[in-house]
Structure 1
Amino acid sequence: MKKRQNKILIIILCAFITIGFVATLLTPSRAFSPMENRTLAQMPELTAKSFFSGKFMSDFEKYLTDQFFARDVWVGMKYYCERALLKQENNGIYISGDRLFMRFDAPEDKRVTANLNAVEQLSQTTGVPVLFSLIPTSAYIYADRLPKYAPTYNQQELLDKAALLPQYFDLSQTLLGARGEDIYYRTDHHWTSLGAYTAYRVIAQQLGYEPLALPENGVAVPDFYGTLFSQGGVRGIPPDEITYYPMDNLSLYADGEDRPLYELKFAEEKDKYSLFLGGNWSTAVIRNENVKNGEKLVIVRDSFTNALAPLLAQHVSELHLVDPRYYKLPLAQYVQENAIDRVLVLYQTANFVQDSSIVLTARP
């Protein structure tokens, strides 16, 4: 009787795998998953070289995983099953009520030291004043909301090391003081527009500017599910809302073209955060037609600056943005070619300890 039951289970399993495999091959491949917000693997090309090297089978396995029939349904079922088992982490994302957190593992000391040294070297290689700050992740700001016993890196260690640099100024205490507000998205790793404004007030003062009041013309974009939601395969959590502030006095020039300050087509797509500046550019310039002081500030940054940049741009003639992940030349060259007056290095902590391109930026 037991052997018969085992045979039936094996037959059902084989039938399920076969049907799923055939359905996957017959269903048109998707290039992009809106739910996971990422590009999906495609059918690899079969050649003698790729077959005998094992590359074809490796790529084919990725293709089947990404294109498996009704993948979004299975991902959702996996999430609900794991929640029923009281599991509070999925794919490096902690789930705590209606808020998601990115797991932050301890970084390599060698990388941290190299990046901090690179920031310090920028003062010498660029020949202009340099300021530097780090933005903690939401797990630092809302540490008491993390699942009990959830392992996470103590970001204060990194902040303390950064504070030893003469260029450094602190944002963490100001953000901690505002933790009662919605300064980070619940489903995304970025700060909200309110969080960016909270930091802007400190940054503006560090640069010698009088902070402006938060604009009253905010436009809300509903139904935002961010990177943490996508990465964690999460279901059943209410969406966030993005707010942006139209600023007619600012114009954006990025990667050789004039572009809108807010790319509103993204308001209708999954990746709604990309409406800020239209996403990440290797270099970009925001010009302010109302400011005639001729001052040019460059921010060496990650995507957190996208929501912040329009606010800081209110104080300078030109606000330049450089993303070292895509801009591979020394910053000193950019500073000289564009007559930059000052440099601000601004990174989220998790991005800072992983980005190896910062060191290249500091070359003379």
Structure 2
Amino acid sequence: MNPKKITVLAFLVLLIVPAVCFALPFDIGATSGSGVAWPKLSFKAVADKSYALGVESYFTQHFLERDQFLRLKTTLDVASGKKETNDVYLSESRLLQKVTLPTDESMRKSIESINRFASNSDKQIYFLLIPTAAEIYKETLPAYSPKADELAFINKTYSQLHSSITTLDAATPLTNSKEGEIFYRTDRRLTSYGAYSIYNYNIKSMGSVPAKLSDFSIEHLSGSFYGSLYKKTQYSLVKPDTIDLYHYAAKQYSSYVTIRNGTETTFHDNIYFRDRLTLSDPLSVFLGGTKPFINIQTDNQAKKNLLIFTDGNLGAMSQFLTIHYDDITIVDLSYLTEYYRDSIDFDRYDNVLFYYSTPSMLESDKFGKLSLFSK
């Protein structure tokens, strides 16, 4: 069908379906639970597309099930020739998030906070910025799409860091391993194999010898995982993902996890939370998902410790770091308060790792919280 006709059809759907709603047993003029009201119809609203956008917002929150509406919207977008919807680029091989990088001013504030922390610290500090799948697979992006130069951003950031900070390289191992499943097809996060690729390339720079891939027993935990990018689009042509767990078979040791979330503290005897597989985010099988404070103690006799500041993307990497450290504390600076700071014996850590994806650097305010660790 002609793309212009498809576009007209899509617009008619947004106009006609509301009329059907009047026959349904709820008040179409009511606001949804989120406060989204039915848009007022006028020639001006139709002309400037605010009516159609208002209908979309209302449907998403109130009329249709969210997934059903997203599936309809994506189908119409694709039929009209679009390869992007809800800031996600579509292809049958994978879904890619649209990346926005921080402004120079935002990064200036972040780097100032990080460098101030480094200059006041006697710790060995490492910094790892991870490019997104949109950078690693940029050749698959639509020709018209704006392409954030994440590698240039990473290099510029590294060049401005304090001289005492050791920078690590995620782009090279991910590029070298891109024929494998290093990112989930339906989610923005790294797979276990992607995390291993980064670990294997960088752990020497952190003073340890990497475990060989053959040292791991790989468990295929699930083959039907649909991640956050799929949930934003409901794009049915992309295949589901497999969630793999990497069990270190060369040496047996136990891990004990303490999680602090608000005033609640819980204790667990494994880094894998298998009961989370059926929840809304199955990737919370790793460490129970994003939390303000997580501590991992192991009996591997490594006699090394590590404090990690991260953005919630660490997940799968924990499988490999526990081989080399017997005490790891993971802190999400976005949630850091003095309450959590008081839970951390900062002096006992010799090593600090900043572990972030490039888009997560957008939030500059969080790095200001590093001042809580100043002497």
TM-score (norm 1): 0.81
Query: Shift of residue 63 of structure 1?
Result: 7.4
Distance 1:213 1:14 in 2: 59
Distance 1:346 1:136 in 2: 11
> For the structure 1 residues 313 and 91, does the alpha-carbon distance in structure 2 shift closer, same or farther, using more than 3 Å as the test?
same
Deviations 1:241-269 (A, max 9, x none): 11013465212111122124111122223
1:88 paired with 2:83, answer yes
Task: Tell me the percent identity.
Answer: 25
Instruction: For 2:178, give the aligned amino acid.
Output: R
Distance 2:127 2:287 in 1: 22
1:250 paired with 2:255, answer yes
Structure 1 counterpart SS, 2:329: strand
* Aligned counterparts, 1:120-269, within 5 A: 120-164=115-159, 165=161, 166=163, 167=165, 168-214=167-213, 215-220=215-220, 221-246=222-247, 249-255=254-260, 256-259=265-268, 260-269=270-279
Query: Shift of residue 300 of structure 1?
Result: 0.5
Query: Shift of residue 289 of structure 1?
Result: 0.7
Instruction: For 2:211, give the aligned amino acid.
Output: L
1:18 paired with 2:22, answer yes
2:349 maps to which residue?
340
> For the structure 1 residues 195 and 177, does the alpha-carbon distance in structure 2 shift closer, same or farther, using more than 3 Å as the test?
same
2:102 maps to which residue?
107
> For the structure 1 residues 156 and 71, does the alpha-carbon distance in structure 2 shift closer, same or farther, using more than 3 Å as the test?
closer
TM-score (norm 2): 0.78
Aligned residues: 325
1:318 maps to which residue?
327
Deviations 1:130-159 (A, max 9, x none): 111100000111111112221121112211
2:287 maps to which residue?
277
Unaligned runs of 5+ in 2: 1-12, 36-55
Query: Shift of residue 204 of structure 1?
Result: 1.4
Contact kept? 1:43, 1:63, Cα under 8 Å: no
Distance 1:237 1:72 in 2: 15
Distance 2:91 2:154 in 1: 25
Structure 2 counterpart SS, 1:242: strand
1:52 maps to which residue?
none
1:358 maps to which residue?
367
Query: Shift of residue 233 of structure 1?
Result: 3.6
Distance 1:24 1:224 in 2: 35
**CA RMSD, 1 decimal:** 2.9
Unaligned runs of 5+ in 1: 1-8, 27-40, 45-60
Structure 1 counterpart SS, 2:328: strand
Distance 2:136 2:271 in 1: 29
Distance 2:368 2:307 in 1: 17
Distance 1:170 1:216 in 2: 23
2:307 maps to which residue?
298
Instruction: For 1:95, give the aligned amino acid.
Output: L
Query: Shift of residue 318 of structure 1?
Result: 0.3
Deviations 1:145-201 (A, max 9, x none): 112221121112211212212322222122111112111111100011000001111
> For the structure 1 residues 69 and 13, does the alpha-carbon distance in structure 2 shift closer, same or farther, using more than 3 Å as the test?
closer
Distance 2:16 2:140 in 1: 43
Structure 1 counterpart SS, 2:296: strand
Instruction: For 1:81, give the aligned amino acid.
Output: L
Contact kept? 1:92, 1:232, Cα under 8 Å: no
Query: Shift of residue 65 of structure 1?
Result: 4.0
Distance 2:28 2:284 in 1: 31
Query: Shift of residue 127 of structure 1?
Result: 2.9
Structure 2 counterpart SS, 1:280: coil
Query: Shift of residue 70 of structure 1?
Result: 3.8
